[in-house]
Structure 1
Amino acid sequence: MFATIIQRIRKANVTWAQRERDSVEEMGAIIEALCAHDPVAARQAMAVHIGNIRKTVESINRKNFDKE
């Protein structure tokens, strides 16, 4: 059982490592839009960022907890 928990944590960490890289790019788009005083682009970039985080969390939950 303990080994299974460790495997789940490792899988989640790999997913989060990729998510971190993607987040940097997404936050760059948000910052660019804010610096350009473009609220529409900022809102769209933020929606993409939050949507991708949601997808990642849901994916981790499916991979790690549906197996219980």
Structure 2
Amino acid sequence: LDGEGKSEISTGIGFFDHMLTLFAFHGGFDLIVKCEGDLEVDTHHTVEDLGIALGTCLKEALGNKLGIKRYGA
């Protein structure tokens, strides 16, 4: 999670790319996401699957969460 807030995001969903870019920037961590989904069906599956994957990665990276301060603390 230590990084500079840099990102390379490519999901095929412009607004989602924008939000993930801001998530990394304001979170202060680097994030690379390259995804190909079934966008011809809809964007739901791509957003859902990336949310699950990203959440799993963050949970693993945070470990026991000791030393984490709330935003603004």
TM range (shorter): 0.3 to 0.5
Which has the bigger relative contact order, CA under 8 A and spacing at least 6?
A: 1
Q: Determine which structure has more spread, i.e. the larger CA radius of gyration.
A: 1
**Structure richer in helix, relative to its length:** 1
- The alignment's TM-score, normalised by the length of structure 1, stands at 0.42
